[in-house]
């Protein structure tokens, strides 16, 4: 987020990830796409549009999220933010954490829907409570900046820590900034240095720290 208050919004730009699937459309509790710790894209984003659309229409939440991603970015289809929101909503209502975070971001930015920070928080919180780092990171951002909520450094620290402990480097940087500047929390040089070393190790050497 980098110049702390700017970067999160630059790096988040539709952070949606694709999810591995097969042609089976059964919704099962242990579906890979429901894993809130899934960081990397898999073969969902390689599916042809017709195949992906069939899966999405048959209720596959991962396919629905991928449809939202493609329309949100104009990836292989005309960019259409309203269509993107339509698919994110379907996927989010199927309890897919990344789709809930993506839908929250659409409300946060007012893309395809009216800007609504209350709704943004609602969906970020659902994703965060499922353990998804993007929902946690965005709640941290909302609380440290006072975006749609009262500024609260303690709550920002809580949510950033949850994301940082999963290895989310930008949340680790956010904590480093907070501790080094005393932004929302008591200034703590030791913690600031600790998080700085972790961020540098991740960015320079690819060694991402996770709890």
Read off the pLDDT of residues 138-166 as tens digits, 9 standing for 90 and up: 999 999 999 999 999 999 999 999 999 99
Residue 198 has pLDDT above 90, yes or no: yes
203 falls within a domain: no
56 falls within a domain: yes
35 falls within a domain: yes
Tens of pLDDT, residue by residue over 67-106, are: 999 999 999 999 999 999 999 999 999 999 999 999 999 9
140 falls within a domain: no
Residue 43 banded pLDDT, cuts 50, 70, 90: low
Cβ burial, residue 103 (10 Å; 0-12/13-18/19+) = buried
Compute the distance between CA of residue 211 and CA of residue 203 in angstroms, rounded to an integer: 17
Residue 26 banded pLDDT, cuts 50, 70, 90: very low
Residue 86: per-residue pLDDT = 98
pTM of the entire structure?
A: 0.82
Sign of the dihedral defined by the CA atoms of residues 145, 187, 4, 205, in that order: negative
Q: Can you list the positions of beta strands (E) in 102-196?
A: none
186 falls within a domain: no
Q: Please say whether the beta carbons of 120 and 110 come within 8 A.
A: no
Compute the distance between CA of residue 176 and CA of residue 36 in angstroms, rounded to an integer: 24
92 falls within a domain: yes
With H, G, I as helix, E, B as strand and everything else as coil, classify residue 194. helix
Q: What does pLDDT average to over the chain?
A: 85
Find the domain containing 32 and state its range: 7-131
The region of weakest confidence among 16-25, 77-86, 193-202 is 16-25
CATH number reported for the structural domain that contains residue 23 in this entry: 1.25.40.10
Domain count of the fold of the chain: 1
Residue 33: per-residue pLDDT = 57
Residue 45: per-residue pLDDT = 79
Residue 36: per-residue pLDDT = 54
Percent of the chain at pLDDT exceeding 90? 77
Residue 115: per-residue pLDDT = 98
158 falls within a domain: no
Residue 3 has pLDDT above 50, yes or no: no
Residue 189 has pLDDT above 50, yes or no: yes
Residue 7: per-residue pLDDT = 43
Q: Which residues, at least 6 apart from 118, have a Cβ–Cβ distance to it below 8 Å?
A: 148
123 falls within a domain: yes
DSSP 165: T
């Amino acid at each position: 987020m980098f110049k702390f208050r700017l970067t999160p919004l630059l790096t988040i730009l539709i952070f949606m990830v694709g999810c591995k699937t097969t042609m089976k459309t059964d919704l099962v509790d242990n579906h890979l796409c429901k894993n809130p710790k899934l960081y990397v894209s898999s073969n969902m984003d390689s599916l042809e549009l017709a195949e992906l659309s069939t899966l999405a229409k048959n209720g596959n939440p991962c396919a629905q999220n991928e449809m939202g991603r493609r329309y949100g970015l104009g990836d292989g289809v005309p960019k259409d933010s309203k269509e993107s929101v339509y698919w994110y909503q379907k996927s989010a209502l199927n309890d897919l954490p990344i789709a809930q975070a993506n839908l929250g971001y659409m409300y946060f930015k007012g893309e395809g829907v009216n800007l609504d920070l209350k709704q943004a928080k609602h969906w970020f919180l659902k994703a965060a409570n499922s353990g998804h780092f993007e929902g946690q990171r965005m709640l941290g951002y909302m609380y440290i900046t006072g975006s749609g909520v009262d500024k609260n450094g303690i709550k920002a620290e809580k949510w950033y820590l949850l994301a940082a402990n999963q290895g989310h480097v930008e949340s680790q940087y956010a904590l480093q900034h907070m501790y080094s500047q005393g932004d929302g929390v008591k200034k703590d040089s030791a913690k600031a240095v600790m998080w700085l070393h972790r961020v540098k190790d991740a960015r320079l050497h690819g060694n991402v720290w996770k709890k």
